[in-house]
Amino acid sequence: MTFVLCVIVIALAFEYINGFHDTANAIATSVATKALTPTQAILLSAAWNLVGALMGTAVAKTIGSGLVDTNLVSPVTIACALMGGILWNLFTWYIGLPSSSSHALIGGLCGAALASASGDWHAIVWLKNTAVDAAGNLQALPFFKSGGLLPKVVAPMFLAPLAGLLIAYSLAGAFYLFLRYPRFLPAVFGLLIGYGLTWILHTITHWPLLGQTWFRIAAGAAVALLLYRRQMRLYMSGGLTTTHINTEFRWYQLGSASWMSYAHGSNDAQKTMGVIALLLFTATTQGEAFKNLPAWLEFLRTPQFEIATWVKVTCAITIALGTAAGGWRIIKTLGKNMVKLQPVHGFCAQTTAAGVIETATGFGVPLSTTHVISGSIMGVGATKRLNAVKWMVAERMIWAWVLTIPICGLLAFCFTWLAHKAGF
């Protein structure tokens, strides 16, 4: 039992490191465009990370039960997987290189499970493309609705940053067109802000009215009216200048940064939730770790794989605290070193990344928020000109993306092999 509690602490340490390692994903563009001060951005991000982390468990279930054979998982396996991810995260943070905490954890789980299976690659669930329907019949699933490492991790690893790049490029290009006709901006942004805000509130409160399309459009129209009146005051005071437009987009970035932080919390925090739930499940069903569990620790017993409320709340608070600590080395790389951003670029990059991540979260895909926001920043930078993006920095990041899973898998494999040799 003591060892299981120690592994939970290690998991929460990973979650905390995940928070400050990935702070840049949510706030780098806001800080770079001076939409927010670093302190304001971190506090805003921490708050929305906390809210997002409490929403849903689809990603947690994928991590906990959909990537490796759970019969091979033990508290030792999970501890070694987490240690591999922690070491890689700290190394990439130290050199200021954005890498995926999600893939670090996934690589660690796969490597540790492989070591527990004595090198049998069947320990990894590569593709699970069948399911039992309501009538009890076995039916085939399309690739992207299937479970396993290939559809849930490998394919999104390449498709997500590409989608972020292309969508952000298109969105920024569309806003450049709108900036030629600034009178349309209040209507566009009003609908986006009103619809997005009511959608988030509906996700949190489940109030039926907020889920109605007509109400969301009405909210968007009300916001558009307020923005239009503000724009008219600017015209009356001497015209709408570039400075005015930049100021407006800095305000809009409050919304895009909040959404990005919410999306980060809803996807990234769930990964550690899944690991802790898997740990408790294996400790309950395998071995005798919880055989003489004290009455006041009965809440740890998990005979079926499920995400307990206390796990969700603890992980949410931990990732929020980690986010509040900030990860300045990576913020500098994403926000300044890769491309010089203006407020319109920051807004488009954050909005695109948040939309892609939220879509993935809905399908239970443990997406790399680092990959998506980095791809989005490259996309908006390319709208200025292709050489506006410092491709040498981008190349270093891409190498880190490619190497994360195999390196963390190798580290976890070695740790697990050593633990087994030591008799654990």
Residue 131 phi/psi, 5-degree rounding, is -150, 155
Element (H, E) at 188: helix 185-205
Residues 269, 261: Cα–Cα separation, whole Å? 11
The single residue listed with the structure tokens 């190497």 is 403
The pLDDT, as a whole number, for residue 240 is 59
Residues 148, 124: Cα–Cα separation, whole Å? 8
Contact 113, 84 (CB under 8 A): no
Contact 402, 157 (CB under 8 A): no
User: pLDDT by residue for the chain (424 residues), tens digit each?
Assistant: 778 888 889 989 988 888 777 766 667 777 777 777 777 877 887 788 788 877 777 777 777 667 888 788 888 888 999 999 999 988 888 877 777 888 888 899 999 999 988 888 888 888 887 777 666 677 777 777 777 888 888 888 888 888 888 999 898 888 777 777 777 777 877 887 787 778 778 877 788 888 888 898 888 888 888 878 877 776 666 655 667 777 777 777 888 888 888 888 888 777 888 888 888 888 888 767 677 777 787 778 877 878 888 888 888 888 888 877 765 556 655 555 556 778 888 888 888 888 888 888 877 777 777 788 888 888 888 887 777 677 776 677 777 778 899 999 999 999 999 998 887 7
What's CA 263's distance to the chain center, in Å? 6
Which residues 6+ apart lie within 8 Å of 30 measured at CB?
36, 41, 253, 257, 346, 350
The two three-digit tokens of residue 232, written as one number: 């008219």
The two three-digit tokens of residue 187, written as one number: 């209507």
Q: 68 has which bridge partners?
A: 124
DSSP notation for 212-245: -HHHHHHHHHHHHHHHHHHHHHHHHTT---HHHH
Residue (of 332, 389, 280, 242) closest to 60 by Cα position = 280
Q: 138 has which bridge partners?
A: 132
Strand pairing category for 130-132 and 138-140: antiparallel
Contact 381, 375 (CB under 8 A): no
Contact 366, 153 (CB under 8 A): yes
Residue 23 phi/psi, 5-degree rounding, is -55, -40
Residue 293 phi/psi, 5-degree rounding, is -70, 130
Dmax (CA) of the chain: 78
The pLDDT, as a whole number, for residue 337 is 55
b/e code 115-128 from CB counts within 10 Å (16+ = b): bbbeeeeebbbeeb
Amino acid (1-letter code) at residue 335? G
The pLDDT, as a whole number, for residue 179 is 73
Kindly report whether the global pTM for this prediction surpasses the value 0.85.
no
Residues 381, 255: Cα–Cα separation, whole Å? 21
The pLDDT, as a whole number, for residue 330 is 60
